[in-house]
Structure 1
Amino acid sequence: MRLKLLGLTAIFSLLSACSTTEKTPVVETVKAKPAVEVDLSAQDLYQKALSKRDFDKIQLLYTARDRAIEEQNWQLVITICEQLIESGGPDSVRNQLYIALAYTQQKDYHTALETLESLNAKLTSPMHFFLHQEIYGNIYSAQALPHQAAPYLIRASETANKHDFKADKVNKALWQVLNQLSIKQLEALNSGSSIQRGWVSLALYTQLYIGDATSLQAALNKWNYAYSNHPASFALPDNMQQIIDVQPINVNRIAIILPSNQSKQKALSQSLKAGILAASEKHPDRELHFINSALNAEQIAEQLNELAPDFVIGPLLKENIDKLQQAGTLDAYPTMYLNTTPQALESIDHFAFALNPEHEVTQAVYHFVNKEFKKPLVIAPGNRLGKRLANHFTNQWLEFSDNEPEVGFYANKRDMQKLVQELLEVDKSKKRIREISLMFRGKLHEETRSRRDIDAIYIIADAAQTRLLKPSFDVNISTFAKRIPIFASSRSHDIKSDKTDKKDLAGLYFSEIPWMLPLTGEQQSLRSEFDQIWPEHTTLEQQLFAMGFDAVKLIPQLRQLQMVPGKTLTGLTGDLTVNQDGDIERALKWAQYREKQIVTLDIKSQKPTPLFIKNHQQETQEAAL
């Protein structure tokens, strides 16, 4: 299993001169276990308790409950806690909190939230509040909502510090959450209690100085002076013996495994090579060695053994990645695959960089939800890719809304106009107009009406198809109705087509990699040079050039980006982050066609709150009124 957040604990090790106390479970036990029962499992203890009566039964049920928590036998925890509540055992609230904990561990977050909300007014002890906040925080963290998880885990950490609870797991969970936040999000949290400010300041120092050991050491010395005895100082793993300096990956020799110039993928390979070479111009002493990905695994292994590279980029095609993963050819080398990988990444120095179209579809969904659109319409070609991306949109959308999006697929260009009218129900309006016209001999003033529930349109189509679809929507949406914003994926954008005609796309929003949008500064100089040397490159080839460029640019910062998920690198293919599984993720830019130019927009597509959590939040607010 891939190691996660490797090296973050190094920061803590700089703050503590001694080893930590023994690791404790997430919850505290309340009953000492009789020596005679030390070797019994939770299930055995539970069965034994069922044979007892009154006080002896309750005592043994508490022992079985605590053992079940230690064993992470969550279904048994629920069963025992429910019996304790039914039998009137002491501290019913705590048992209900353990039930919520068990549901959380079983990923039944809906039931866990219902249980927590039923206890909001019943938290009579600091331990109740500590567990309550911890479980809430863990639920939000599991939904990849670190900005919502952080306040709960901070409150849990504050409570534990004030009342001297052992809270190793809370503190480590809080640290992971904070390191998934951007600098802007952290700065918004940098207030409140000394405990909160200490956590946030430490996370900020990490983002600002990770990879710069000298500056990080100075910042941590300052932090340690300001926040002595802070809980972060003790959130260390067992037996930490030395300081781990997080250093950039330094490379002098790179092996690049790509299709040869004689292959069918020649144009794609050459575009990637051009990007890699362009990014390497500032490193004239760096050696680049290209290996034909069509060679078998043994032949590639021989070449790598001879070269002894510091880093490997590639392969590009999934079948070649699978070939080398199965043979273990790249296990000993830090590697960046240029596609999604058939197998999971096992090495902490293996990464996957893919121009995955699902990334921007997800980004579009997030933007639509944040804009509070209720009923989007998705239109896509009826081929495999179109259906795949439309289904991805629908699946993502239904995490945040109970209204299914309207989806339509077209077979060809001739089918588009008819499909647009059907989706907007203009065809029905025209039919009604004809029926009414037959009833009257005089001339009628007529105007078709389009449906009113659609409040956003998302086009998944290539540039030529988009130039037909956008005007079709424009003419079929009622003139007296509110204009519906129309969005498209990057497939709709083509620089060559833009040179001749933009008027049909006026008002269209689309997501795109920065390389394909108006640039400034150093990137503009690179763009001008590219256009002079490769004026006839296709959109895909330009995207691969940008990918090759970013692949080289990423190498020195891969470890830091993975260790601090909130840290980003601005690249030609987007704002780049590395998740805990080693996948390089991209946040694209939004732009809009306005008159005769393209304007880049400052739109951040932050993940919204899932529907089931939003419903719980609303119910809680209504209950408080």
Structure 2
Amino acid sequence: MNNFINQSNKLLSFALIVLLLQGCGPQTRQSSLSSASNQQNLEYLLKQAQKADPDRKSALLVQASGLLVLERRFEKSQELLIRVNQQLLTPDQMDDFHLYYGETLLGLEANEASLNQLKTIVSPTAKPIHWQLRYAQSLSDSYLANGNYFEAAKLRIELDDLIDDAEVLRANNEKIWQALSEIETDFLQQLITDFNSQRMNGWLEIVYINKRWGYHPQKLLSEIDTWKKRYPLHPSQVNQPATLQKAVAAEEYKPQRIAVLLPLSGKNASIGMMIQDGIIAAHYQSDSANVAPKLSFYDTARSLSALTPYQQAIDDGADFVLGPLTKESLETVLNQESLPVPMLALNRMEEQRYNHPQVFQFGLPVEDEAIQSAHRAFEKGYRKAIAFLPDNTVGKRAEETFREYFEQMGGELVEVQKYKDAKSLKTEVQHLLGVDSSMRRKKSLQQLLGRNLEFEMRRRQDADFIFMIASPAMGRMIKPFINFYYAHDLPVIATSMVYSGKKKPQTDIDLNGIEFPDIPLLLSELPDFEQTRTVLKETQPQALDARGRFFALGFDSYRILNQLAILKAFPEYRWNGLAGELAVDELGLVHRFLTWAQFNRGIPNVTKEREIKQLETQANIEQDKLEPQSSNIN
């Protein structure tokens, strides 16, 4: 019997070694030297374990598991560790066992079990410094995974004096920042006490400042400056976390001469001139309009290539460019190898394949509204969608974006029906709602039975709502068809295209029930926007219909341009403008967060308006500032 057991153990050891050696290559790219060294050590340990006596074998398997953890081979590490006879390990070896098992379980996302293993370690201070570092880092990561963020950060902060490698220090500081950033803002403030070390309080304060003032960049930068004076030698200043680096490095643009590239003649002249009106209005709204940058306008429609007015603007001394507007013009400029001055384009490319760190893109893309429609539907509990979209590039872009984000959240786009013109709307709505199938079944039964049948038409039941893109005129035809075909109770979420921008209760009554997002200038019920609409009604009434979206684009583009680098450093921040709450992502794309409304008796009533989180709004227009106060426009 003993011979059988011994023979079985030998076979098991051999099989285990073969299994490990088949899959010991690293899963992450390490240096070839380090990987080869680990591989050689692992092979050596496993060969030694194969021929070692039971006492020695368990210790060798523990050492091998530690190497497997470094290779992130957690399942293989666990296979070794469960075969270790813990009773044969010394106390020192048991600490190794608990460390490697804790790391293994953490890698397998068994977070609570991982923490239990790591907290079982008896004498970490008796180990070499590199072991203590590994132990403290793993224990911190386990605390973090288990939601004990303060303990996770505390361990990392205490490691600072033990680390002498700059890259390791930087990574350690990132972990501290990550852990403390998970703590609620108010609780962070409560943790700042005299019982802590100055180093600990410095960390708590800087993360608190970032969370407290993250929606107000200027105040944040001011608070950071004050903090730096209180903690001049703090580790987070020496090896700054990435978030703090971006915050400290962010600076306002302060242009002296702004070149605006717009089509002011030709087929896009009406759009270009409306954007121009918005830019000029914003220029005169500035508190320092008398010393404001000089504005120079260049008509891109007068040149065969957008590069001609762009280069002329640079030659004229422009240190900031607004525009161009069309995607063709924008692509022409972005294809240049380098761009000498910052630029805020007034459109957005679908593909971001350009490497110009000082280029920002701000437009009115349907993608923003498709994403927000997906989020709006999901927050209302809708999980299955059908879509009714125009058969054109806008419909295609909206479908792709909506599908991606809605399904990413866990929803399902069940069917997409495209339409081309008003003539075919009836048939296409029938197909969308599945009533054409119901009608075909009726016809087949009547033919089979040879007589007319009483019939109750039924629509499909597998959808929670309809996502729709349509002009006001098309929407007024589509929604009655939807109601007629027994889908009056099926919610419809549309884009801003469905709203003309003006309240027309008699004609828009056919749009009742449709919910849509649009710019606050046209919808918001907040006092600043109502005051702005009152002013514009007297001075620029054309800005209060659908054209107002382009007026808002121009107005906001001028008001936001000096803040762009700061907003890019703080992507969670929302800047309140006429075109929506604006945020800038790491690619320099400006995203709009819109106001939601629903037609009721032909009038859009606000259903959702985001809370303003900053200390002041930039959306207010004052009438006495619409008169020219400076002559620095040409």
Give yes or no for TM over 0.5.
yes
Where does residue 140 of structure 2 map in the other structure?
130
Distance 2:373 2:508 in 1: 22
Larger Rg, first or second structure (1 or 2) = 2
Task: Please point out which of 552, 558, 566 is paired with 1:552.
Answer: 558
| 1:491 is aligned to 2:483 | no
Change in 2 beyond 3 A, CA 1:307/1:237: same
2:588 is aligned with 1:582: yes
Q: 1:218 to 1:339 in 2, by over 3 A?
A: closer
Worse overlay, 92-101 or 372-381: 92-101
Kept in 2, the 8 Å contact 1:576–1:584? The answer is yes
Per-residue deviation at 1:188?
7.1
Paired residues of 2:512 and 2:600 also in contact (CA < 8 A): yes
CA drift at 1:233: 6.9
Counterpart of 1:276, as a letter, is: I
1:490–1:510: 8 Å Cα contact kept in structure 2? yes
Distance 2:105 2:327 in 1: 44
- Residue in 2 that maps onto 1:566: 572
Tell me the equivalent position of 1:85: 78
- Answer yes or no: is the 8 Å Cα contact 1:130–1:155 preserved in 2: yes
Counterpart mapping for 1:101-500 below 5 A: 115-116=108-109, 118-123=110-115, 124-125=117-118, 128=138, 130-132=140-142, 134=144, 156-161=152-157, 168-169=170-171, 171-172=173-174, 175=177, 187=185, 193-194=191-192, 198=205, 201-207=208-214, 210-212=217-219, 215-216=222-223, 220=227, 236=240, 244=248, 246-259=250-263, 261-282=264-285, 283-286=289-292, 287-293=294-300, 294=303, 299-300=308-309, 302-328=311-337, 331-341=339-349, 344=353, 346-401=355-410, 403-430=412-439, 447-477=456-486, 483-496=489-502, 498=504, 500=506
Residues 427 and 157 (structure 1), Cα distance of their counterparts in 2 relative to 1, 3 Å cut? same
Asked if the contact 1:518–1:598 (Cα under 8 Å) also holds between the matched residues in 2, the reply is: no
**Alpha-carbon shift at residue 543 of structure 1 (Å):** 1.7
Q: Secondary structure at 2:332's aligned position in 1?
A: helix
CA deviation map 1:440-483 (0-9, x unaligned): 9999876433333322221122221111111222222268xxx3
Counterpart position of 1:609: none
Q: CA deviation at 1:546?
A: 0.9
CA contact (8 A) 2:206 2:227 kept: no
Q: In 2, distance between residues paired with 1:542 and 1:344?
A: 31
**What is the Cα deviation at residue 555 of structure 1?**
1.6
Partners of 1:98 and 1:336 in 2: how far apart? 49
Provide the C-alpha distance between the structure 2 equivalents of 1:439 and 1:82, rounded to a whole number of angstroms. Answer: 64
Unmatched runs of 5 consecutive residues or more in structure 1: 1-37, 70-76, 102-114, 138-150, 606-625
The alignment partner of 2:605 has SS state of strand
SS at the partner of 1:121? Answer: helix
Contact 2:536 2:543 survives alignment (8 Å):
no
Q: Give distance in 2, aligned partners of 1:152 and 1:345.
A: 41
Contact 1:212/1:247, CA 8 A, preserved across alignment: no
Aligned equivalents of 1:347 and 1:302: distance in 2? 17
Deviates more, 1:445-454 or 1:314-323: 445-454
**AA aligned opposite 1:202:** I
One-letter amino acid of the counterpart of residue 480, structure 2: P
Give, as a single letter, the amino acid of the residue that structure 2 aligns with 1:207: G
Farther-moved stretch of structure 1 (582-591 vs 263-272): 263-272
1:14-29 map, 5 Å: none
- In the aligned structure 2, how far is the partner of 1:100 from the partner of 1:359? 38
What do the CA deviations read for 1:23-69 (whole angstroms, capped 9, x no partner)?
xxxxxxxxxxxxxxx99331344145325523697688578668xx6
Report percent identity of matched pairs.
23
Q: For the structure 1 residues 163 and 326, does the alpha-carbon distance in structure 2 shift closer, same or farther, using more than 3 Å as the test?
A: closer
Q: Give the secondary-structure state (helix, strand or coil) at the position aligned to 1:327.
A: coil
Alpha carbons of structure 1 residues 230 and 585: separation in structure 2 relative to 1, 3 Å = same
CA 1:581 to 1:156, structure 2 compared with 1: closer, same or farther past 3 Å? farther
* Residue 599 of structure 1: how far off its partner (Å): 1.4
**Contact (CA 8 Å) 1:50, 1:57: kept in 2 or not?**
no
* Alignment CA distance shift 1:169-1:428 (3 Å): same
SS at match of 2:284: coil
Cα RMSD for the two superposed structures: 4.4
Given residue 340 of structure 1, which amino acid in structure 2 is its aligned partner? Answer: R
Question: How much has 1:278 moved relative to structure 2?
Answer: 0.9
Q: Residues 427 and 301 (structure 1 numbering): CA distance in 2 closer, same or farther, change over 3 Å? A: closer
Q: Which deviates more, 521-530 or 412-421?
A: 521-530
- TM-score (normalised: structure 2): 0.69
Provide closer, same or farther for how the CA distance between residues 444 and 49 of structure 1 changes in structure 2, counting only shifts above 3 A: closer
Amino acid at match of 2:227: L
- Asked if 2 retains the 8 angstrom alpha-carbon contact of 1:463 and 1:497, the reply is no
Name the residue aligned to 1:4.
Answer: none
- Secondary structure of the residue aligned to 2:278 is helix
- Partner of 2:533 in structure 1? 527
Aligned residue pairs: how many? 516
Q: Larger helix proportion, structure 1 or 2?
A: 2
* Equivalent runs, 1:61-80 vs 2, <5 Å: 77-79=71-73
TM-score, with structure 1 as normaliser: 0.69
What CA deviation, in whole Å up to 9, does each residue of 1:262-321 have, x standing for no partner? 333222211211111111013244310112433657744653344323321111223322
Match of 1:9 in 2: none
Secondary structure of the equivalent of 1:585? strand
Deviations 1:594-613 (A, max 9, x none): 224321122569xxxxxxxx
Q: Which of the residues 34, 39, 48 maps onto 1:54?
A: 48
SS in 2 for 1:211: helix
Q: 1:236 to 1:469 in 2, by over 3 A?
A: same
Q: SS at 1:503's partner residue?
A: helix
